[in-house]
Amino acid sequence: MALTIKSIPVLKEKEAQNFVEMAEKAITKSATVDFSNELKRARAILKKAKMM
């Protein structure tokens, strides 16, 4: 038995504009994660184990 194809919901007018605004804010707000401390610890562990 075949499965029915579901329609794709479409945002219109105010909802679409709100979605675009929120997406643009999220893009500008994106932050990076600083792993420098973790990297230092990992290198120290590898150095102690004579693997580096």
**pLDDT tens-digit series, residues 2-41:** 888 889 989 999 999 999 999 999 888 877 788 999 999 9
Domain that includes residue 31, residue range:
13-48
Instruction: Answer yes or no: is 25 within a domain.
Output: yes
Give me the pLDDT at residue 10, please: 92
Instruction: Answer yes or no: is 8 within a domain.
Output: no
Give me the pLDDT at residue 14, please: 95
Instruction: Answer yes or no: is 38 within a domain.
Output: yes
Is the confidence at residue 52, as pLDDT, over 80?
no
Instruction: Answer yes or no: is 18 within a domain.
Output: yes
Instruction: Answer yes or no: is 22 within a domain.
Output: yes
Instruction: Answer yes or no: is 23 within a domain.
Output: yes
Q: Is the dihedral of CA 34, 37, 42, 46 positive or negative?
A: positive
Overall domain count for the chain: 1
CA angle 24, 29, 34 (to 5 degrees): 145
Instruction: Answer yes or no: is 6 within a domain.
Output: no
